[in-house]
Amino acid sequence: MTLRLAVALDSASFDAGEWAGWVRRADEARLDFVTFDDRFGKRGPDAVLTAARVAPLTRHVGLVPVATTTHTEPFHLSTALATLDYVSKGRAGWQVRVSADPAEAALLGRRDPLQVPALFEEAADAVEVVRRLWDSWQDDAIIKDVPTGRYIDRDRLHYVAFDGKYFSVKGPSIVPRPPQGQPVVAALAHSPEALVFAGKSADLVFITPSDVYSAEKIKSKLDPALKVYADIAVFIGDDALVRRGSATSDAAVFAGTAAQLADLIAAWAASGIDGIRLRPGDLTEDLTRITDDLVPELRRRGLFEPSSATTLRERLGLPVAVNRYEGAVRA
């Protein structure tokens, strides 16, 4: 069985050259996508801006930054992520995150944090607004009609008209519909509430099983239409056990050789997951081992094959995103 392969990038570095080097390494190995971690209370660069910075330097790899819906306006999220899809030529995604941390709430000063169920309810509304804004321009809205002086056909722009508990957004977007139509929306399903949210709002879900049996159990609870990736924190090499030390993670932690990691991935493939997201313990040593040692081993075993798809949606096997306003007539 062939699996898709992704890598999680998490660093506080403000060195653009370092970020470019990490993402280029993943791009040259033809990994399917990389994720950029972020949170309000984390020291480091903004994930969406970092992804946009490295996008023109890459050709194949998908770019999936974390962006938090808590305290963030969905209109701003929609425009930033649509712009990322343009500069990457259809390789953008979005990993949705919520924040229940009072310290993070204090950074913005808007309000106290909500309870967990309400946070995910708000996140679902935010995703719905963002998706509507992405669709608010039909694909043929830009007409550039010189004789009449019209740049856009206003009948092909639509008000999103969302009026909910947490947001009231009229729209339309100020950015035309992204190249993918709908960039890929991802979520980390680390709680019952997150599992429900992923089933309602996401295209792709990251799970954190401890072994192949728990991976099967978690996947059985998810909508079959969701793309499911299992997370593994990895330390690769002769000194992997030493470097791992007492490291803990919400995901399974692996320490060993690239061949042993390939054995583990082969075993987990039997659970029916669509892919693996590797979390390197060190973005220099372990990422290099992933691209130089693990990827060739997985290809040799027929467990991974680079995709020729040009957009992230295509690469993940997601359907074409049909505009919800197709055929609508502006009032």
What CA–CA distance (Å, rounded) separates 19 from 36? 10
| 34 contacts 64 by C-beta, under 8 angstroms | yes
Q: For the purposes of burial, counting CB atoms within 10 Å of the CB of 63, is it exposed (0-12), middle (13-18) or buried (19 or more)?
A: buried
266, two tokens: 């082969």
| 276 contacts 5 by C-beta, under 8 angstroms | yes
| 141 contacts 156 by C-beta, under 8 angstroms | yes
What CA–CA distance (Å, rounded) separates 49 from 295? 28
Element (H, E) at 79: helix 74-87
Q: Is 245 left (phi over 0), alpha (psi -120 to 50) or beta?
A: left
Cβ neighbours, 10 Å, residue 296: 14
271 among the known binding-site residues? no
15, two tokens: 């060195």
Q: Which residues are annotated as a binding site?
A: 191
Q: Which residues are annotated as a binding site for FMN?
A: 191
